Amino acid sequence: MSSFQGSKINPSRFSLSQVKIYAYLLPLAAVMLLPILYIFSTAFKPMDELFAYPPRFFVQRPTLENFYDISSSIDASGVPLSRYLFNSVVSSLLAVACTLVISLNAGYVLSKKQFRGKGALFAVNTAALMFVPQAVQIPRYLLIEKSHLIDHFAVLFLPLLAMPVGLFLVKQFIDQVPDALIEAARIDGAGDFRIVTGIVAPIVKPALATVAILAFQSSWNNVEISTYYVDNDLMRTFAFYLSSLIVGMGNTVAGRGVLAAATLVMFLPNLVIFIFMQNKVLNTMAHSGIK
């Protein structure tokens, strides 16, 4: 009994009992890190190293020439780089903010409110998880066209606000919030807004962080909206321009460097936001519930 109490499954400091865990996890971490290192390394390779045989994993003579090629190509299009970045950054931030507000409030209503049709609404949201974006592309276009949103800045983020997986995830987390806690807040005079912002939101932070990452990735990497709903180049996003640049130059010799640099540019914001929110995401995966 004493030996069991003397050992901890998850000690706060390094213990010899953790050596076997590190021996198993470190090789796995190295393998998972290789694709990220390859993306960074390839983006800085000069032309001769991109086509070297046998291929080299790490860059020998790093250069910024590939990034200069992207910048010069954008300047040649007549639309400044800052405009594409502005459209992408602002639309992505708006998509994240609006998605969090919608998911949090809708999840609270579906979890803690009682009304007719509640089960049917959640069933519709769950069924929407089965549909890929291509399946609703035509009805979505008709809806946007009838709403006169073609070539409007709002079209860059409004079609992305309906995120069934975000609502499903947040609602499942709110289900774990004790009803007694909410009732106690109501007795103290708190309204729904105060309950959602002051009680529910802090408890479901891990789910909200995961939804924020998914919403940002969905918006930042989105090309379809600028392709189908935008005709004005000034309204298009950075992802659209890089994708069109890759299509136009990807099969050429010079285009391989542009492709490598564009891949890093599109990947880097996703990596940064995940690094800052990784703890919340891991808590979501663990589904730890209320402590």
Model pLDDT for residues 126-144, shown as the tens digit of each residue: 888 888 777 888 888 899 8
pTM of the model: 0.79
Name the token pair of 55. 């291929």
**pLDDT (0 to 100) of residue 238:** 87
Q: Could you tell me which of 277, 274, 100, 93 has the C-alpha nearest to residue 201?
A: 100
Low-confidence ranges of the chain (pLDDT < 50): 1-7, 288-291
Question: CB of 238 within 8 A of CB of 204?
Answer: no
pLDDT of residue 14: 66
Say if residues 106 and 169 touch (Cβ distance below 8 Å): no
Res 243: pLDDT? 80
What pLDDT score was predicted for residue 4?
42
C-alpha distances (whole Å) from 20 to each of 11, 13, 14, 89 are 14, 15, 12, 44
Task: Give me the pLDDT at residue 192, please.
Answer: 87
